[in-house]
Amino acid sequence: MAVIKSNSEHERMLARLMRAEAEGEGEQGMMMVGNVGVNRVLGDCLDFRNIRSIPDMVYQNPGGFEAVQKSYFYQKTRDRDVRLARRSIGGEQTWPASNALWFFRPAGACPDTWYNQQNTGRFKAHCFFAPTASDCPAVFRSNSPSNRSPIA
C-alpha cells in the first residue's frame, strides 16, 4: 500500500529524480533518494510544509533538487527505475535515508549536522540528515522489517 498518493506520471517523475540524483550509487542509492522524496511529501514540517505531492517535492523552489536543472533529469524513464520508485512510494525504507529529509555530497567527511539536522549516515558519496521526531513526526513512520527489505 502506498504511503503517499501517486499516479503513473508521478511514479515516472520520482524515478527520473532518483536516477538523476544517484544512478552512480546503484539501486540502493537511488532508493535512498526515493526515501528522502517520500519523506518530504509526508513530512508537512520545516522546509516542506506546503509539499503535498511528488511534483511539489520534485520542483520545490527554493529548496528543491539540483537534478531538475540538468537535462539528464528529463530523459525517458526506464522500467527498472519506475519499479524502484514504486517501492519508495510503497513505503520501503533504506537506512540511512529512512527518516531523512536531506542529503548532499560533501568534498570530505560527513558533518555531524547540516542546517541543524543530525547526520544519520553515509552511503557511498552521499550524507543523509534527518529532523528530530518532535520536529517531523510523520517521517518516523513504521520501520518494520517489511519496510527494510534488501534491494533486489
Tens digit of each residue's pLDDT (9 = 90 or more) over 82-124: 999 999 999 999 999 999 999 999 999 999 999 899 999 999 9
Is this structure's pTM higher than 0.85? yes
The reported pLDDT for the residue numbered 151 is 36
Helix (H, G, I), strand (E, B) or coil at 109: coil
How far is Cα 83 from Cα 19, in angstroms, rounded to an integer? Answer: 12
Q: What is the pLDDT of residues 137-147, one digit of tens each?
A: 999 976 543 34
The reported pLDDT for the residue numbered 143 is 52
DSSP secondary structure code for residue 5 in this structure = -
**Which amino acid type is present at position 51?**
I
Q: Phi/psi at 3 (nearest 5 deg)?
A: -95, -15
